[in-house]
Amino acid sequence: MDKHQVRIAVICALLLLGALACGDTTEESAGEDPVVNNDDGNNDTDNNEVGNNDTDNNDVPPNNDAPNNDAPNNDMICDVDAEIASLVGELDTVTAGDFAMEAGEDGSIFTLDASVGGNANAGTSSYIYVDLDTGERLEISDVEALSNSDWDLAFKRSIIRLNGGDSGPSALMLSSVSETTWEDATPPGADAMWAVDDFMDDECNLVTVGPGLLNTAFGAWYDYDPSTHTVSNRPGEVYFIYNAATHMVTQLEIQDYADGTYTIRWKSAF
C-alpha cells in the first residue's frame, strides 16, 4: 500500500469514527429526553403541586391554625352570667339593717345601716336593696336581685351597686357632678360620662377599682383616710341616675357615711 492509499485509509477511518460519534450523540440525546420530561414532571408534580405548594405550604398551615386558633378559643369560652352570679348572686338570705325614710322640702332622705355586722360578715351577707320609686327597702336576697328590676340601689358597707349592667336586669346609668351644691347641680347632658356596673369582662376576668373594689357605677365614691382606715362621703358630689327604659332622672347625694351607715338625699329630677 503506497502513501496515497494509506492517506485514503486514514481519512476513511476518521470519517467512520466521526459517523459513529455522531450516532452516539444522537442516541444520548434521544435518551435524555425522558430525563428532561421527568424533571419537568418532578417540578410540576412533586415540587409545585404535591410537595412544596399544595401539601406542605398550603394545606399544613391551615391544619396548624385550627388547633392554635379554634381549640384555645373553645377552651377560653366562659359563662359570664354564671361568674357574676357566683360573685354577687349566690346568697339566698335577706340581710337585716335599719332603714328609715323621711320626706323633706327638697327631696327625701333615708338612712340605712349597711354595716352587715362588720367586715367579718361581709362575705356571708347579702346586699341590702332599696327601691327609690317607693322609698322602701326590699326584702330580697342576692339570688332574687339578679332577676329583679324593682330595686335601684344595693348596699354592703362601702360598696354601692346600681341595677343595670352586670348587677341586674334594669337599665340604670350613673353620672356625677363635682364641686357643686344640691341646689345648683343640674343633670349632665348626653355627652357626659354615664356609667353602669361593669365588674366582669367578656372573658370572665374580674374588673376592680382600687384594692379589690368592684367596678360599679359608683366606684370609689368616698374619701379614704389611710391613717385611721376610715371612709367618709365626698362633699360637693351630686349624682344623677338615668333610667334608659323610662327616661326618668333621679338626683342623689350621699350626705353622710360612717361605719357602714348611709344618709342619702334623693329626688326625681324629671
Q: Calculate the alpha carbon distances from 77 to 45, 72, 83, 90, 205 in Å.
A: 43, 9, 12, 22, 12
Res. 143: pLDDT tops 90 = yes
Res. 6: pLDDT tops 60 = no
The sign of the torsion formed by the CA atoms of 188, 270, 111, 131 equals negative
- 245-266: pLDDT as tens digits: 999 999 999 999 999 999 999 9
Grouping H, G, I as helix, E, B as strand and the rest as coil, residue 238 is: strand
More confident residue, 182 or 8: 182
Rounded average pLDDT over 205-225:
91
| 32, three cell numbers | 435524555
DSSP alpha helix (H) spans, 66-177:
71-76, 80-88, 142-145
Percent of the chain scored above 70 by pLDDT?
72
Rounded average pLDDT over 38-42:
44
More confident residue, 262 or 23: 262
Res. 209: pLDDT tops 80 = yes
CA–CA separation, 237 vs 245, rounded Å?
25
| 54, three cell numbers | 399544595
Rounded average pLDDT over 195-203:
96
Rounded average pLDDT over 212-233:
93
pTM of model > 0.75: no
> What confidence category does residue 270 fall into, taking pLDDT thresholds of 50, 70 and 90?
confident
Grouping H, G, I as helix, E, B as strand and the rest as coil, residue 146 is: coil
> What confidence category does residue 71 fall into, taking pLDDT thresholds of 50, 70 and 90?
very low
Among 250, 248, 247, smallest CA distance to 265 is for: 250
CA–CA separation, 193 vs 218, rounded Å?
12
Among 256, 249, 173, smallest CA distance to 217 is for: 173
Highest mean pLDDT among 57-66, 153-162, 188-197: 153-162
